[in-house]
Amino acid sequence: MIASIDSAAIDSAGCIPPDILEGLKQLDLFGQQIPVEYGGLGLTVTEFARLSEAVASDPSIFLLLAAHQLLGLQGLLIAGTEEQKYRYLPRLANGDWVAALCLSESESGSDLTSIKTQATLSEDGDTWVINGSKNWVTNGSIANLYIVFAKTKMEDHKGQIHDRTTAFLVEREFEGVSCGQPDDKLGIRGTSTCEVFFKKTPVPVENVLGEVNKGFNLGLDILNGSRYGMGGLLTEVLKKFIGWATEHVVNRNQLGKTLKDYELIQEKLAKVTSTTYAVESMTYLLAAMLDTYEDPDCTVEAAMLKVFGTETCWNGINDCLQLLGGKGYLKNYPYERLLRDMSITMLVDGANDALRFFIAFKGLQHIGPLLSERVKGLRNPLNNPGLVFKTIWKRRNQAKDHPSLNLGLCNNLHPALEVTWLTIISHLVPSKLLEYCVLRLQYASEMVLTRHGSEVGEYQMELNVDCISVLP
């Protein structure tokens, strides 16, 4: 079925044809990660990633399914009661119903602390009434079930009222639910994206998802848990461009030679291919971690995959377009459509700049307790002169960007990463390059903590440098 999809027609029409949607239902692709007991396929993360590569031949179809499973119904899997799961998941698994996440708003984006949509409990305590609207809702106009995040009031032990966030399961047929016109987008035009309105929408108390006033952490869990799903899309699109570019340089002649015989062409294609391999490896390593460990905390790794993968894909597409020459600028080839489609990847599931801050800050949170006493001493040099001078002496090579590569990581890596000829050429074999990056990350982390202490979160530029020490 995938091979017969006309992606250009989907892009032009701005929607996915009903027969394609029916085909996706026949293949049970709406229930890939829903457990078998609720009517789904119960796929592992690795199986889901592999299947995503096949589906990603058309990014609009990929996003339809990803928004349904990784965003729309994920909250139900995480926090739903058994009654809620048995009521909704079977219909979501067979594709009769589609799920959509209603979180972002025009003035706050996906910042849950700033949303304006309100939910008020009725006097009889049986119904919540929601008022507000949500922007950029993927699958918005075709969804039957919305996971809606709204502000609710909480009274503390002192009698003071505070705003908190609660998640609700809102059916499309509930009173007061309506959708705006579909957004006219740059790319992924086949996927429905629109504004969804809630005007005095009554929601039964049994449709609260998770606990009342505890929706903030659930929202973060949904967003953080969805980023791993992008790896299959990025890998598939990069492989497509590598194939097109390779075919072109093999057959195109320039000044009496084929393009493939020019070293600059070889270097560019080799770079795209090797970085694609890195994205693919990150995707399946992360998938294996999520499949292997019980309740794994892979939020930082998923953010790394999202940042590195999306920017690698964007740069790789541009490199391949240069190899393709004038053909890459024409609309009668698929290149420009995929370029438009992939431009969104650096924005969805958290903008890359925000994720860079997240990666660096989460990393510092882990090492902060280990370095707390040392950092306190270094921030008070008059009372700790011995520690200061000892640290300066120890860091003298680091300060000159020449750390001593004596960690011995090569003993724990594959022998192929210890290559003698590479030592002659670059003086830095892969295992030593890894040691260099580890030591530079250590140095950057210690320096930024020593310089700013507990206020380190206010210095985003330096945290960005710390993040660059982690990401290639």
Tens-digit pLDDT profile for residues 200-252: 999 999 999 999 999 999 999 999 889 999 999 999 999 999 999 999 999 99
Average pLDDT of the segment spanning 69-92: 97
Burial of 23 (0-12, 13-18, 19+ CB in 10 A): middle
Are residues 202 and 233 both part of a single domain? no
For position 210, what pLDDT does the model report?
Answer: 97
165: three-class secondary structure by DSSP: strand
Angle made by CA atoms 203, 204, 205, in degrees to the nearest 5:
115
pLDDT of residue 468: 53
Q: Predicted confidence band at 467 (pLDDT cuts at 50, 70, 90)? A: low
31-46 as b/e: b if 16+ CB within 10 A: bbbbeeebbbbebebb
Quick check: is 362 in a domain? Answer: no
Containing 45, the helix (H) or strand (E) segment is helix 45-55
pLDDT confidence band for 428 (50 / 70 / 90)? low
For position 360, what pLDDT does the model report?
85
* Cβ–Cβ < 8 Å for 273, 320: no
pLDDT digits (tens, 9 = 90+) for 391-420: 777 777 777 777 877 888 777 877 776 655
Range name among 192-201, 291-300, 418-427 with the lowest pLDDT average: 418-427
Task: Give the mean pLDDT of 373-385.
Answer: 77
Q: What is the mean pLDDT of residues 423-446?
A: 73
Q: Average pLDDT, stretch 379-386? A: 78
Residue 361, domain member (yes or no)? no
How does pLDDT run across 249-267, given as a tens digit for each residue?
999 988 889 999 999 999 9
- pLDDT > 50? residue 424: no
Instruction: Residue 248: give its domain's CATH number.
Output: 1.20.140.10
For residue 113, give both structure tokens. Answer: 């602390």
Q: Does residue 332 belong to any structural domain of this protein?
A: yes
Quote the CA–CA distance of 251 and 404 in Å, as a whole number: 48
51 and 139 fall within a common domain: no
CA of residue 8 relative to chain centroid, distance: 26
Domain boundary (184, 213, 242) is at 213
Q: Give the CATH number for residue 138.
A: 2.40.110.10
> Of 57, 73, 93, which residue is a domain's last?
93
Over residues 337-344, the mean pLDDT reads 96
Q: How far, in Å, CA of 318 to CA of 346, rounded?
A: 15
3-state secondary structure of 150: strand
pLDDT for residue 2 is more than 70? no
For residues 410 and 433, what is the distance between their CA atoms, to the nearest angstrom?
10
Q: Is residue 357 part of a domain?
A: no
Looking at the fold, whether 238 and 331 belong to one and the same domain comes out as yes
**Residue 359 lies inside a defined structural domain of this protein:** no
State what percent of residues in the chain have pLDDT above 70: 93
Place of tokens 């992924």: 188
The pLDDT assigned to 465 comes to 58
458 in a structural domain:
yes
What number is the average pLDDT over the span 34-51?
A: 97
**CA dist list (Å): 297 to 23, 106, 281:** 35, 31, 19
Q: Which domain holds residue 155?
A: 99-213
- Judge whether 50 lies within some domain: yes
Q: Kindly state whether residues 89 and 103 are assigned to the same domain.
A: no
In Å, how far are 101, 311, 461 from 317, measured between CA atoms?
Answer: 30, 10, 28
- Give long-range contacts, CB 8 A cutoff, 24+ apart: 444-450: 444/469, 445/363, 445/364, 445/367, 445/371, 445/469, 446/371, 446/374, 446/375, 448/364, 449/364, 449/367, 449/368, 449/371, 449/375, 450/375, 450/378, 450/379
Helix (H, G, I), strand (E, B) or coil at 413: coil
Indicate if 107 and 179 belong to the same structural domain.
yes
Res. 136: pLDDT tops 80: yes
- Shared domain for 84 and 103, answered yes or no, is no
Under 8 Å between Cβ of 234 and 345:
yes
Of 187, 213, 239, at which residue does a domain stop? Answer: 213
Measured from the Cβ of residue 30, the count of other Cβ atoms closer than 10 Å reads 26
DSSP 96: S
Q: What are phi and psi of 147, to 5 degrees?
A: -95, 110
State the residue for tokens 């990847």. Answer: 345
Statement to judge: residues 233 and 342 lie in one domain: yes
pLDDT of residue 1: 65
Q: What is the pLDDT of residue 378?
A: 75
Structural contact between residues 202 and 129, judged by C-beta atoms closer than 8 angstroms: yes
User: CA 304 to CA 263: how far, in whole Å?
Assistant: 31
Query: What is the distance of C-alpha 289 from the center of its chain?
Result: 16
CA 94 to chain centre: 26
Looking at the structure, do residues 323 and 270 belong to the same domain, yes or no? Answer: yes
Asked if the structure places residue 364 within a domain, the reply is no
Say if residue 81 is in the same domain as residue 112. Answer: no
- Whole-model pTM: value is 0.88
Asked if residue 342 and residue 232 are part of one domain, the reply reads yes
Work out how many domains the chain is built from and give that number. 4
| CATH number (domain holding residue 76) | 1.10.540.10
Mean pLDDT value across residues 177-192: 96
Identity of the amino acid at 363: G
Whether the CB-CB separation of 250 and 94 falls below 8 Å is answered with no
On whether both 79 and 106 belong to a single domain, the answer is: no
Within this chain, do residues 229 and 337 fall inside the same structural domain, yes or no?
A: yes
